[in-house]
Amino acid sequence: MLTQGGPSPSHATGVMVHRIYQTAFGQQTFALASAVAVVFAVMLLILRWPQLAILRRQVRNA
Mean pLDDT of 28-33: 95
Q: Is the pTM higher than 0.95?
A: no
Residue 61 DSSP one-character state: H
> What contacts 40, CB < 8 A, 6 or more positions away?
16, 17, 20
Query: Quick one: pLDDT at residue 59?
Result: 83
Of all residues in the chain, the percent with pLDDT exceeding 70 is 77
Query: Quick one: pLDDT at residue 44?
Result: 92
Query: Quick one: pLDDT at residue 61?
Result: 79
Query: Quick one: pLDDT at residue 15?
Result: 85
